[in-house]
A = this chain, B = another copy of it.
Amino acid sequence: MPSAATRAALELFDHHRATLDRAVQAIAERGYWSPYSEQLKQYPEAAVQGAQAVFEALLNQHFKLHGPAPVGRAGAERSPYGFDLGVSYDQYDAEQLLARQQQALPAWRDAGPQARVGACLEILQRLNALSPTLAHAVMHTTGQAFMMAFQAGGAHAQDRGLEAVAYAWRAMAEVPQAARWVKPQGKGEPLQLDKRWHIVPRGLSLVVACSTFPTWNTYPGLFASLATGNPVLVKAHPGAILPVAMSVKVAQDVLAELGFDPALVSLVVDTPESPVAQQLALDPRVKLVDFTGSNAFGEWLEQHALQAQVFTEKAGINTVIIDSTADLKAVAKNLAFSLSLYSGQMCTTTQAIYVPRGGIRNGDEQLSFEQVAETLAGAVKGFLAENERACAVLGAIQSEATAARIDACRALGEVLLDSEVREHPQFPGARVRTPLLLKVDASERAAYAEERFGPIAFLIATDDSAHSLQVAREVIAAKGAMTLGVYSTDEAFLDQAEALAQDVAVALSVNLDGGVFVNQSAAFSDFHATGGNPAANASISDGAFVSRRFVTVQSRRHAAQ
């Protein structure tokens, strides 16, 4: 007999069944699909109009969540647009928090896949309704411009969460719940067993969020773990707690209303001075770790959290190779947007652009390397000429460290386009910077083959396009990459690029010169990271992202005759 909480969650499963079925279809087809609108006008007008006030009412307050008795408070977020959020959050004793989640695990496990998925789908729907408000929280922690914060922090993040739920559901549903095993015995009676299979979560799940995409990069691990039965600790980045806390609150509300322990999803906050992720990641009860962030900590997790399944998205040297173009101006416009969007603070933004030092073929003309450089720099400059429009794309620089990195990197090459400090039209205190574009030689690997997080890109002069492929191969094999863009009018060269992409396991975009950009990744269609090169050890989301989050436990007995 299922518990009352399970029965209530099963009703949610039925309620959201059509969405789930469509999502499962989407992951099988991977064409375009999104259940959550990225158009502000599709949301209730009152919610949109009131969003800013709701956000502002959260400021300078304590943000209350479920958990054990608090032992302290933390929170010192400052908007990259120039003001303190003033929000504080409870801190818990780790031992008490983990013990509480351990205690909550069996009821959540025993609820079964349908009930858990039903609860997850309800959480996602409520997150979607909260999108207009979430946008402000994402904007004023990450520095994303409002529209990007609304889309990437809202609908697109929810898409990724639902995608993870769909993969989790499919993987769990592929394990039969029961079967009768009937083995013939020649002329004798067959052997008969009744068998049952239980989906059993691995244990506690730690999701370590990042400061630039606190929802988009967090929801996949959170929902994949929760759907498969694992209680989730979401450790927010000290610089971007609020959107995570708001998301955790939605999850806790749904869990509590159903009658499960809301602490099944718990927020963990820490400070740069007293970080807690390392200690939590090594706790023997923590069996899953999802991490987005620096290579240093990602690699530390991979090498030390050996009691856990560790999923990391780190950084790499995202690459564009320009061999030849039909319309360099269109290409440059496309790349200018990529380099400018969120000031290059996406894990998918191009850093290394390889161009033969002898120049390239563009349509019927031959262009020198310098002409290519000028065209690209000019396109960025032109795109960002109008300040209000520029700020609506650039957003603000999330951290002071990234702003400082721009200055530090100037000396790494010849400046093709300098980074400018801009004044934001609405927020005079905003930390706004335009992209820095440097020219270096392919031999200067120390400059361009280290990740330079932020609006910093290199135009790299190579011997020829074969050399571009070779250097890109070596750099990506060694340092990883999330994205590879290749421009060529030669199908044979594109075949080589396709082989390179497979050899170093990087997602390839070919000849993007319109309204799609190399740094964009659409849920239900694009896999985000492959998990096959040093930039990430897992993809968001695919079968491998979910199947390691549970095990199957069987029981069998003689069949009743």
Residues of B within 8 A of A295 (CB): none
Chain B residue nearest to A556 in the complex (CB) = B509
In the complex, are the beta carbons of A516 and B558 less than 8 A apart?
Answer: yes
Our pick among B184, B306, B511, B557 for the contact of A302 (Cβ within 8 Å) is B306
Residues of B within 8 A of A185 (CB): 515
Quickly give the copy total for this chain.
2
Does A176 have its Cβ within 8 Å of any Cβ on chain B?
Answer: yes
In the complex, are the beta carbons of A551 and B522 less than 8 A apart?
Answer: no
Residues of B within 8 A of A548 (CB): 544, 547-548
Q: Give the CA-CA distance A197 to B532 in the complex, in Å.
A: 14
In the complex, are the beta carbons of B557 and A200 less than 8 A apart?
Answer: no
Does A539 have its Cβ within 8 Å of any Cβ on chain B?
Answer: yes
Does A510 have its Cβ within 8 Å of any Cβ on chain B?
Answer: yes
In the complex, are the beta carbons of A532 and B555 less than 8 A apart?
Answer: no
Q: How far is the CB of A89 from chain B (nearest CB, A)?
A: 32
Does A428 have its Cβ within 8 Å of any Cβ on chain B?
Answer: no
Contact with B along A161-194 (1 / 0, CB 8 A): 0000000001100111001111111000001010
- Residues A532 and B553 in contact in the complex (CB < 8 Å), given A32-B181, A183-B32, A499-B106: yes
Contact with B along A95-119 (1 / 0, CB 8 A): 0000000000010010000000000
In the complex, are the beta carbons of A505 and B200 less than 8 A apart?
Answer: yes
Residues of B within 8 A of A531 (CB): 551
Q: How far is the CB of A27 from chain B (nearest CB, A)?
A: 8
Residues of B within 8 A of A403 (CB): none
Interface size class of A (residues with CB under 8 A): 35 or more
Does A418 have its Cβ within 8 Å of any Cβ on chain B?
Answer: no
In the complex, are the beta carbons of A532 and B200 less than 8 A apart?
Answer: yes
In the complex, are the beta carbons of B515 and A553 less than 8 A apart?
Answer: no
Q: How far is the CB of A107 from chain B (nearest CB, A)?
A: 12
In the complex, are the beta carbons of A28 and B174 less than 8 A apart?
Answer: yes
Our pick among B170, B516, B526 for the contact of A191 (Cβ within 8 Å) is B516
Does A19 have its Cβ within 8 Å of any Cβ on chain B?
Answer: no
Q: Give the CA-CA distance A325 to B176 in the complex, in Å.
A: 30
Does A160 have its Cβ within 8 Å of any Cβ on chain B?
Answer: no
- Residues A502 and B553 in contact in the complex (CB < 8 Å), given A176-B30, A543-B174, A547-B544: yes
Residues of B within 8 A of A28 (CB): 174, 176
Q: How far is the CB of A297 from chain B (nearest CB, A)?
A: 15
Most buried by B among A32, A185, A509: A32
Residues of B within 8 A of A501 (CB): 198, 553, 555
Residues of B within 8 A of A184 (CB): 32
Q: How far is the CB of A549 from chain B (nearest CB, A)?
A: 9
Q: Give the CA-CA distance A507 to B553 in the complex, in Å.
A: 6
In the complex, are the beta carbons of A510 and B179 less than 8 A apart?
Answer: no
Q: How far is the CB of A411 from chain B (nearest CB, A)?
A: 34
In the complex, are the beta carbons of B508 and A554 less than 8 A apart?
Answer: yes
In the complex, are the beta carbons of B511 and A558 less than 8 A apart?
Answer: yes
Chain B residue nearest to A533 in the complex (CB) = B551
Chain B residue nearest to A503 in the complex (CB) = B106
Within 8 A of B (CB), among A261-314: 302-303, 306
Residues of B within 8 A of A525 (CB): 179, 181, 195
Q: Give the CA-CA distance A331 to B262 in the complex, in Å.
A: 45
In the complex, are the beta carbons of B509 and A527 less than 8 A apart?
Answer: no
Residues of B within 8 A of A29 (CB): 176, 179
Q: Give the CA-CA distance A461 to B548 in the complex, in Å.
A: 37
Q: Give the CA-CA distance A306 to B510 in the complex, in Å.
A: 33
In the complex, are the beta carbons of A202 and B532 less than 8 A apart?
Answer: yes
Does A498 have its Cβ within 8 Å of any Cβ on chain B?
Answer: yes
Does A349 have its Cβ within 8 Å of any Cβ on chain B?
Answer: no
Q: How far is the CB of A224 from chain B (nearest CB, A)?
A: 13
Does A512 have its Cβ within 8 Å of any Cβ on chain B?
Answer: yes
Chain B residue nearest to A299 in the complex (CB) = B306
Residues of B within 8 A of A532 (CB): 200, 202, 551, 553
Residues of B within 8 A of A191 (CB): 514-516
Q: How far is the CB of A518 from chain B (nearest CB, A)?
A: 10
Does A441 have its Cβ within 8 Å of any Cβ on chain B?
Answer: no
Contact with B along A211-237 (1 / 0, CB 8 A): 000000000000000000000000000
Q: How far is the CB of A314 from chain B (nearest CB, A)?
A: 15
Does A61 have its Cβ within 8 Å of any Cβ on chain B?
Answer: no
User: What are 18 of the A-B contact pairs (CB < 8 Å)?
Assistant: A30-B179, A31-B179, A31-B182, A32-B182, A32-B183, A106-B503, A170-B174, A185-B515, A191-B514, A200-B505, A200-B530, A200-B532, A507-B554, A507-B555, A527-B554, A542-B552, A543-B547, A547-B548
Closest 3 CB pairs of A and B: A532-B551, A510-B557, A508-B555
Starting from the known contacts A512-B557, A512-B558, A530-B552, 15 additional A-B residue pairs (CB-CB under 8 Å) come to A31-B181, A32-B182, A32-B184, A175-B542, A183-B522, A191-B516, A200-B502, A506-B553, A507-B556, A508-B555, A510-B557, A511-B557, A527-B552, A539-B551, A544-B548
